[in-house]
Structure 1
Amino acid sequence: MAKLNEQPATAADLLPLALTSYGHFTSMRVDADRRIRGLALHMERLVRDSTIVFGTAVDTGRVRDLVASALDGREGPCVVRVTHFDPTVDMGHPDKATEPQIMVTVRSAGELPPPPLAALSVQYERDLPQVKHCGLFGALHARRAAQLKGFDDALFFGPGNYVSEGGTWNVGFIDEAGTVVWPDGPVLPGVTAALLQERTEYKIAPITLDEAKAMPVAFATNTSIGVRALSAIDSTPMAIEHPVLVNLRETYLSVPGEEL
């Protein structure tokens, strides 16, 4: 059930979001003990993105309370999505959307790590990539195109054939020397990627699509999947096991969850 503030969301509440997609969100994996890795970073994201999208602040204490309430009666790991949008927004006057509200939804979480995924390279760059916004049409259209060709998801590349990110995940690579390399470019600053970068050695560099396919290992990261190996980029197979990949997974799982 979706809850807008403390009440079940109605169709009328959700219609403006459905018609405009004007809002932003963050998704958080909640472990069985109701602790969340990177909770503070998720709250920082909501504050930062609300300033960009609405020019307003977010009461993160209230967000925590609403998430805790939504988790009452839930067992096992799950994924909570906090969506911030103004139910009065209309396409003619988005400048009037200045009183965003908080919607919380909960779904079950899968096991970590999930199976490797095969990615199809698709030329695409998200609008306002630094914001985790609700405008998902382009990313989902790319994912659909990939799945129709037998792949699991899309890996985006932009001008100059430089890779950036995946459909709903950051991408990283492990080079021949065993160094973790994150692409330099306009991407969403992911919480899982940030947690790994705080705890491991890495470098950031521009990576073309050809260079990406020449890497021994590629992996995806986000809060729902943790660290997930890529089994292929287009027709190029990638190794799905590597000591550095194991270390990244163990490092992520060792990050202590934060209490709501």
Structure 2
Amino acid sequence: MKHYCNGRPATADDLAGAVVNYGHFTSLQVRGGAVQGLDLHLRRLRQGTTELFGSTLEGSQVQAWILAALQAEGVVDASVRVTVFARGFDFRQPLQVLPVDVLVAVSAPVTLPATPRRVRSVVYQREMPELKHVGTFALFQHRRLALQAGFDDALFVDGQGRVSEGTTWNVLFGRGDEVVWPQAEALRGTQERLLQAGWGGGAVLEPVTLAGLGRFDAAVACNAAGVWPLAAIDGVGFARSEALCERALGLLAETPWQPLG
């Protein structure tokens, strides 16, 4: 994985500033120099910068830095992570309005296979779930514990018993021909937004509880790297998850890719 900071190869000092646990990011897949939902990724970065640092971030500048990093690596297909931080951030003076630094990491492209997975539920609520912030310790630890217990991943449920999101993915459910998105506080992913736009009025938003999972016959997970069916959540199986996954993949196949250049 190669890193570029503010449009130039990252130095040790750049990376030292980025390890402070205060910042936000987005992860995206690039194919042929283009990104699905590029505008959504850039909007996420702008909003996070205003929220955490009180400053602005020009989407066009971020776009140019991503493109420059890809050109430096000589690739048009890649996985890219864009992290926004501030080397001048001081936790003792967190109200300072600071110029931000942008770290672009380029690695090999990834497409997660549409392999059915079994997940277990965990009562957990991310801090400030609306932000894709760098506080990811609990996400990875819950996934690790789920794997140790014989599952493929973990699904988060809030204190009211409502399904919210997976460790690094969103979830949707099927009920006959109806598509249901769970109504709870969660990070609203770019892939989720694209699928919601594709389904349009054909999808509904409602609270989904663990006790009510038996009302659904399908469940699908999604993030920027792919879409995959959920075979079961805890002991509840979903017979039509693979069919719903195929529908979702079909919608994404019709979603245009936005060029970086």
What's the TM-score, normalizing by structure 2?
A: 0.91
**What is the CA–CA distance in structure 1 between the aligned matches of 2:211 and 2:109, rounded to whole Å?**
34
Q: Matched residues in 2 for 1:157 and 1:250: separation?
A: 29
Residue type at the aligned position of 1:215: F
1:230-251 Cα distance to aligned partner (Å, 9 max, x none)? 1221233333655443221110
Tell me if structure 2 keeps the 8 A contact 1:16–1:90.
no
| 1:132-175 Cα deviation digits (max 9, x unpaired) | 11111121121111111122211000112111000011111001
Structure 2 unaligned residues grouped into runs of 5+: none
Q: Give the alignment's Cα RMSD to 1 decimal.
A: 1.8
Please name the residue that 2:77 is paired with: 77
C-alpha change, 1:94 and 1:205, in structure 2 (3 Å) is: same
Contact kept? 2:218, 2:244, Cα under 8 Å: no
Partners of 1:213 and 1:75 in 2: how far apart?
Answer: 46
- 1:90 maps to 90
> Is residue 35–residue 257 contact of structure 2 (8 Å, CA) maintained in 1?
yes
C-alpha contact (below 8 Å) 1:219/1:229 kept by paired residues: yes
Indicate conservation of the 8 Å contact 1:178/1:244, yes or no: no
Cα distance in 2 for residues equivalent to 1:48 and 1:69: 23
TM-score, structure 1 normalization: 0.91
Q: Kindly, what percent of the aligned residue pairs are identical?
A: 35
Distance 1:36 1:132 in 2: 18
- Supply the AA of the counterpart residue of 1:55: G
Asked whether the equivalents of residues 219 and 244 of structure 2 are also in contact (C-alpha less than 8 Å), the reply is no
Match for 1:181: what amino acid? V
In structure 2, the residue corresponding to 1:96 is in which secondary structure? coil
C-alpha displacement of 1:64: 0.7
> Which segments of 5 or more consecutive residues in structure 1 lack a partner in the other structure?
none
Equivalent position of 1:61 in the other structure = 60
Cα distance in structure 1, aligned partners of 2:222 and 2:29 = 12
Distance in 2 separating the partners of 1:244 and 1:140: 27
| Farther-moved stretch of structure 1 (207-216 vs 159-168) | 207-216
1:173–1:218: 8 Å Cα contact kept in structure 2?
Answer: yes
1:78-227 matches, cutoff 5 A: 78-96=78-96, 98-111=98-111, 113-175=113-175, 177-200=176-199, 201-212=202-213, 214-225=215-226, 227=227
